[in-house]
Amino acid sequence: MGKSNNTRFHNKFVWWSVADCDCKWCRYYGGKKSGCTLETCCCTEERAEAYRLESEKKKASVKRKRKIEAERNAGRYA
Protein backbone atom coordinates (compact mmCIF):
# COMPACT_ATOMS: atom_id res chain seq x y z
CA MET A 1 0.00 0.00 0.00
CA GLY A 2 1.14 3.53 -0.72
CA LYS A 3 1.59 6.28 1.77
CA SER A 4 -1.59 8.17 2.54
CA ASN A 5 -1.82 11.91 1.99
CA ASN A 6 -3.87 12.19 5.18
CA THR A 7 -0.90 11.64 7.48
CA ARG A 8 -0.70 14.27 10.20
CA PHE A 9 1.94 14.94 12.79
CA HIS A 10 0.23 16.01 16.01
CA ASN A 11 3.30 16.44 18.20
CA LYS A 12 5.40 18.85 16.19
CA PHE A 13 8.48 20.14 18.01
CA VAL A 14 8.28 23.90 18.55
CA TRP A 15 11.03 24.76 21.04
CA TRP A 16 12.47 23.66 24.34
CA SER A 17 10.49 24.44 27.47
CA VAL A 18 12.05 25.69 30.70
CA ALA A 19 11.58 22.25 32.26
CA ASP A 20 13.43 20.65 29.33
CA CYS A 21 16.43 22.93 29.92
CA ASP A 22 16.95 21.74 33.49
CA CYS A 23 20.50 20.61 34.30
CA LYS A 24 19.39 17.11 35.30
CA TRP A 25 18.63 16.36 31.62
CA CYS A 26 22.04 17.56 30.40
CA ARG A 27 24.49 14.90 29.26
CA TYR A 28 27.33 16.65 31.12
CA TYR A 29 25.53 16.80 34.48
CA GLY A 30 27.40 14.65 37.02
CA GLY A 31 24.71 14.51 39.70
CA LYS A 32 24.06 16.49 42.86
CA LYS A 33 27.57 16.12 44.25
CA SER A 34 29.56 16.67 41.07
CA GLY A 35 27.33 19.17 39.32
CA CYS A 36 28.09 20.12 35.75
CA THR A 37 31.38 18.82 34.39
CA LEU A 38 31.80 21.72 31.94
CA GLU A 39 33.21 25.15 32.72
CA THR A 40 30.28 26.93 31.04
CA CYS A 41 26.83 25.58 30.37
CA CYS A 42 26.34 24.29 26.83
CA CYS A 43 22.59 25.06 26.92
CA THR A 44 22.64 28.77 27.72
CA GLU A 45 21.14 29.88 24.40
CA GLU A 46 18.34 27.31 24.55
CA ARG A 47 17.63 28.13 28.19
CA ALA A 48 17.47 31.89 27.51
CA GLU A 49 15.15 31.33 24.54
CA ALA A 50 12.93 29.02 26.62
CA TYR A 51 12.61 31.65 29.39
CA ARG A 52 11.82 34.35 26.82
CA LEU A 53 9.16 32.28 25.06
CA GLU A 54 7.55 31.20 28.32
CA SER A 55 7.36 34.78 29.61
CA GLU A 56 5.80 35.90 26.31
CA LYS A 57 3.20 33.15 26.60
CA LYS A 58 2.38 34.18 30.18
CA LYS A 59 2.03 37.84 29.17
CA ALA A 60 -0.25 36.91 26.27
CA SER A 61 -2.35 34.75 28.59
CA VAL A 62 -2.74 37.59 31.09
CA LYS A 63 -3.71 40.02 28.32
CA ARG A 64 -6.27 37.54 26.99
CA LYS A 65 -7.78 37.07 30.47
CA ARG A 66 -7.98 40.82 31.08
CA LYS A 67 -9.65 41.35 27.71
CA ILE A 68 -12.26 38.69 28.47
CA GLU A 69 -12.92 40.19 31.91
CA ALA A 70 -13.30 43.67 30.40
CA GLU A 71 -15.78 42.37 27.83
CA ARG A 72 -17.77 40.58 30.53
CA ASN A 73 -17.82 43.64 32.77
CA ALA A 74 -18.82 45.92 29.90
CA GLY A 75 -21.76 43.66 29.12
CA ARG A 76 -22.96 43.50 32.73
CA TYR A 77 -22.77 47.18 33.62
CA ALA A 78 -23.58 48.78 30.26
What is the value of pTM for the model shown?
0.62
CA distance 21 to 30: 15
Strand partners, 36: 29
Read out DSSP for 23-47? GGGSTTB--TTT-BSSSS-TTHHHH
The pLDDT score that the predictor gives to residue 1 is 52
42, 36 Cβ separation under 8 angstroms: no
In the chain, the amino acid numbered 1 is M
CA distance 42 to 31: 16
The pLDDT score that the predictor gives to residue 59 is 94
The pLDDT score that the predictor gives to residue 78 is 47
The pLDDT score that the predictor gives to residue 55 is 93
pLDDT tens for the chain, 78 residues: list them: 556 666 676 777 778 888 888 888 888 888 888 888 888 888 889 999 999 999 999 999 999 999 888 888 887 654
